[in-house]
Structure 1
């Protein structure tokens, strides 16, 4: 006869009863989950698995949701990674879509949003840079990164800022387009140095405001689109026309332009359109997997020009590539990484008409990318001719980038281990060793700023950096500033750690000697925290690099690690990053304080239009702050009363 189910009251205080109740609850949860799986439709869709904490474990897509999800639960996967994942699943969510292409796009949108533990994940928070040509009457050429404004023309994307700036220099040499800000352009009375060195045709003054500038802008746009033959032919016709009218000086200028463009074409090694099969925009992708790490190298061809490459390193490669079910087509880790990159990368980035890849990928992926782009996308795995040369270059780049990453990670692992050993720290998981470092920065007591940088997982974690505005202290009192920032940082963290919901760092570094360490000790004593966590980085004799010593809050003797110590190298890296982060924040705060910052926008009666007029008239906020009331009144729409309000606000 089976025993009746245990109530919570019966189970309380009895370990065996608690275990039986937990097992019964787990069986009930599992049975409910399996019932949900059996009720799934045989349609395309996306599924998401969650653990007991509500965290996403895995996001996947399927042509047949029921068949795919059932395959996770129909067999025992043992101690494999897929078995580990399945054992953690307590809840599931599904979304039905119309096609497999829609499922693929939704899957990768969710992966980028939810950051699942068992998916290959590419993170690239930086948007791609573009070369922008404005819609101004005398268009300006500029580097641009951010949201696209339809009023202007954008060319790219480029793999790096360096590639954009190199293209701008090229445009200056050949087409002499302006690069100055509108506020500078509108207030020029004579040509600048760029005109004198033949890098700008000076449309800021009447001598340069000719129809030729508009032709140069048009030629530059065509060149950036890859229409190099057409640009050269138009210049040849223009030179001939000038010569026939006996305008030999103008013909000579166009001749020089043609020579400069020819030289640029040779330097850039631009291939004819036949080399790319008629495609002027091409992405080349090469993947390399080694040592549990992976690299995808992306090379970009825009307008027929090879603009360089950029390496990406995904997370969770081992976990994700180990999850492969019996009903799936066997895919190599390289192919899985490449497909994951393509799907996630092109969600937010423009898709070119041709993508050359080092590994064959699923045909449905090209279909999905075409759906995303709204045009046909060709994915080619075995290119010939120039495309093959580009792919070989890209593969070599992936090899070098991954080798560099593995070498750096090995070095960082060694430095982390050296620091833990040198300070005799009790760290159970070296890969989770966490250091937080603090620094104070100000200029003679003005605009005091404190920084906190984080080192974890053998690397700096820039997304966890924090700056603190220090207020209510005597200017230049670094000790009071350190006390304030540590109190603000660790008061709530200490409460969370006591409740078991938070985690303190394994080491707290402060940039300073005994004085700063004693202040940190007072804060930690008030909060009831372990004093052994605190170490100060004290300058050595003559403040020379490599002679720093560590000062401790718990009474230990000072430690000198040695100039060549790997532990000291890591401490110096973290300390220097804290100093850099603090000083950049301080400078921005100081500049805002001295120029009035954004207070111009806070003046009643100054809207976006008047603010724009003021900034253009005086060349920036600093110029507005330096203007007198009478000078402010000279701006259209600014009354004397409003000018006085602006003057008071900025002084």
Structure 2
């Protein structure tokens, strides 16, 4: 595990649920690394962080994890299907990619006349003409369903080449799984009725079929044919089992499902997305809203989300309670997106199951948030003990640049509720000597506090030098700020940081001290925000010219690089070892290129 992420990961594991679900592992810059499923989320995810990991790929994955998010479901089957949806949607680098729909199993009813065939297989073959049913969670389930169909309706499953050359019935007829249409033992009309019943079965229209089985079972029992009665009883049980499909795949269509909940000062909205009948996962939001009416809060959230964040909207929004001014909101959304939008709070059957899933997840998310609040409050409390003063708002600055180019200063803000991202600020630094971090910090602090109020604690990422520079800025501005400098320890190892105070004193907190964990959390967020904004600015400005600032990399080598990797995006994704494979580049230049592009 990355040492910087250890406190955050340990907190997540401590509060993780034991329900089944899907977990998503993210890297330092928010990139999705891996999607997995679990019968017990807590046990499964915790297993990644034991000391006995042997597989190199798993070790490499764990070393890159900075965050873990979970999505709870009601069964392992739902977890499997949702996991596959997310893998196919996001292509995480540590998942085994299954392409061309081969991760799903379908049952196929051919269009052959007058005797169609039934078959199961992975993927929808483009050369096949007919109807596909599924996908099924596993090949076993699909094959089992196919066997049931054969036993119930005796529809053939053989290949056309085999069917066309039969002169007598095969073994399938002998074991009563086929009506032998190959040799004319059944009329096309009767066979069509069996095929139609098979399609009804696959579509879930099993009520009448179940009644027929009950009648046959009772008739067999009355005539003392107990073996046949047991056969029909088992077929009824299997029929119910294979047709109890999960909510994730029971209905075609598109919808967003939103569930809102409030508890102990925390409001959460869970959004789950269904597209083409498939559940594609969801996300929890914790809006900062000033209202006591959940219906009004949900209406405000829907408006903000779909007008400002989302670039598309399905025809249906399914919500867990009646939203305020529903008709007006529907009309506004319909006008904005150019199609009719409906918001529904009273739903049944499959939609009710989707809504239940969203409500499960919103409760799970809000419990996790509350646990985080308790931990965060304790961290703030212990920090107040260390600095001997009340602290409700912390601001921290960080500087990011590439060899002095496009310098960016970030300011992040934390309070007792966590990160206040809407208060974050970014400063583009100008008119300083390239690479002068002191001058960059001076400019950022001056621009920030000429207008903004001082926080309770201003964290300066650096030692005595940076802290003295910040003190000079505050003196020039005529401000009395409480500041603490944070210098890294030997080898920049987390847990060895030293806190420097303006009176010249300094302390080093124990590695497990919660006040230190809070300081590390704020500082790491400042670094993340600065480097993310810097890279976006740099890449937008330079595009492919990113290579032009690398010393010793002339036009020919730049052209060779771009040709080898197919463009600048390929170069940016390449590892140091990949760069060494470019003819004429060498290990030293490869290391230089990688360092400039990524560090």
Q: Tell me the TM-score normalized by structure 1.
A: 0.45
Q: Tell me the TM-score normalized by structure 2.
A: 0.49
